[in-house]
Amino acid sequence: MAQEPYKKLIIVLSVVIPLAVALLFQVKIEGYDFSFLPPIYATINGVTAVLLILAVWAIKNKKRTLHERLMKVSLSLSALFLVMYVLYHITSDSTPYGGEGPVKYLYYFILITHILLSIAVVPLVLFTLSRALSANFEKHKALAKFTFPIWLYVAVTGVVVYLMISPYY
């Protein structure tokens, strides 16, 4: 059986990225106003969700080059999202959710599942990408069947979380 390409790097990134994000939540840099970023990175999440759906459509319709391009853009947008998200949170105080009743519980359910799955999606995306880059398309396809719905959920719930908390900014 062939070794998993980039396995050590993917494992390191899968640990370092969530830890760095968590640690950066403890950092506050004063004097910068990035309050304009949440609607931008929520939009990026929405665009990513649409592109992921289009990428699945493309590969199912044997449009491999289009699929590859859509996935490259999706990966780039996800990286851009992460940079903007961190910039916002290291320069701004967290916004508490102000809703009441059952909607509050729904918000926290969506937020918690979004956060947990956003951590899980990092190695899934990287291993799926690694298998595509190494032309191991059978394993790529098998893992993509799990990666796609989780990545899509994270992208869509990122928009939902933003829409639910935006009245409280």
pTM: 0.93
Could you report the per-residue pLDDT of 83-108, keeping only the tens digit for each? 999 999 999 988 999 999 999 999 99
Model confidence at 3, pLDDT cuts 50, 70, 90, reads confident
Q: What's the confidence (pLDDT) of residue 76?
A: 98
CA angle 129/130/136 to nearest 5° reads: 100
Q: Which contacts of 85-88 are long-range, i.e. CB under 8 A and separated by 24 or more positions? A: 85/21, 85/37, 85/41, 86/21, 86/24, 87/34, 87/37, 88/34, 88/35, 88/37, 88/38, 88/41
DSSP structural state of residue 168: G
Arithmetic mean of pLDDT over the chain: 95
For residue 51, what pLDDT band results from cuts at 50, 70 and 90?
A: very high
pLDDT score at 4:
81
Give the domain extent around 134.
7-24+33-168
Dist CA 101 CA 44 (whole Å): 30
Residue 65 inside a domain? The answer is yes
**Residue 69 sits in a domain of what CATH number?**
1.20.120
| Residue 1 included in any domain | no
Q: Which residue has the higher pLDDT, 76 or 5?
A: 76
Overall average pLDDT of the 128-149 stretch: 97
Please tell me the predicted confidence (pLDDT) of residue 27. Answer: 92
16 is a domain residue:
yes
pLDDT at 5 (0 to 100) = 74
Give residue 1's pLDDT. Answer: 44
**Residues in CB range of 36: below 8 A, 6 or more apart:** none
Number of domains in the chain: 1
Query: Would you say residue 2 lies in a domain?
Result: no
